[in-house]
Structure 1
Amino acid sequence: MDEALLAAYLATDYRMRLPQGGVASLRIGAPLPSALLQLTQGAPWAVLAAWNPRSQPMPRAWNRRAQRLLLAELRARPDIRAIRAAVGVGAGGWRESSLLVVGADAASMRALCARHGQYAFIAGEGETPPRLYWTDDAP
């Protein structure tokens, strides 16, 4: 496992836009904020993206197109209850657009992330703290 990549995921602040306005922030291993508990209502959830596949920076236009394709795939799934805009904020000003997806289990999200070239995503269910999940392609 790439220790630098793991450290980057663990240091990232994942921020979600809330339906009533404002932002909720979560971190891997930390308790889920009450606003996100209310939003997910105990259902499984994940934070994922299609930006920068295989952790390789891509042009903004490419990333936006990839994210739109991911969003279209998610919207077509009957198990998805909600999709909210999110962003991962890391060290040195690094930011990556993401999506909070409510309703799909981690196993199906792992397969989806792998198809979009992602090494990892975070997910949880109920009050369980956010957990990092690696795809099979992870270094």
Structure 2
Amino acid sequence: MDNSLIDTYRTTDYRVRLPKGGWVSIHVDAALPAPLHSLIGERSWAFITAWNPGSHVQLRQQNHVAQHALLAALRHLPRTTCIRPGLGVGGAWREASLFVVGPNLADIDELAQQFQQNAYVHGLGQGYARLRLSSDRPPHGQAG
């Protein structure tokens, strides 16, 4: 994965739909926005999508099918406590996404690989949002 793609992930606006309406944005290497604190508590969270595997544009219908499969997989994880709609916005593109509270990194890593995602955003409690690179081969983890 080249640095320009990682830079794109870092500068994306990761929007989460709030339970009472409106949106709040998560930014990589910034603290989790206050409106999400009550949803998170001290639990882990992630912002992930199944759209456009490997950052290659897919047909809308293929993306919808994959996203529904990701949603079902997240719902079946034993630690999941909350799932909110999300939207990744960068430049001229948008991707439907999901903000999930509860699953650990190993579970999300597995789903990211299953749905062929290069990266996702995650955090713990009210701490900073981090970009995590996905790969079926080590090393993977935090983007430097």
Contiguous gaps of at least 5 residues in structure 1: none
Contact 1:119 1:137 in 2 (8 A): no
Report the counterpart of residue 101 of structure 1 in structure 2.
100
Q: Quote the residue 2:114 is aligned against.
A: 115
Task: Provide TM-score, normalisation by structure 1.
Answer: 0.94
| Cα deviation, residue 127, structure 1 | 2.0
1:68-107 to 2 correspondence within 5 Å? 68-91=68-91, 93-107=92-106
1:29 alignment partner in structure 2:
29
Shift of 1:21: 1.4
Residue pairs, 1:49-60, within 5 angstroms = 49-60=49-60
Gaps of 5+ in 2: 138-144
Instruction: Tell me, yes or no, if structure 1 residue 11 matches structure 2 residue 16.
Output: no
Q: Which amino acid aligns with 1:15?
A: R
Q: Percent identity?
A: 42
Q: Secondary structure, in 3 states, of the residue corresponding to 2:15? A: strand
Equivalents in 2 of 1:20, 1:62: separation in Å?
30
Instruction: Output the CA distance in 2 between the equivalents of 1:11 and 1:97.
Output: 17
SS of the aligned residue for 2:20 comes to coil
TM-score (norm 2): 0.91
Q: Residues 86-136 of structure 1, C-alpha deviation per residue, up to 9 Å, x if partnerless? A: 000001x21001000000112220111101111110100112110011112
* In 2, Cα distance between equivalents of 1:96 and 1:25: 14
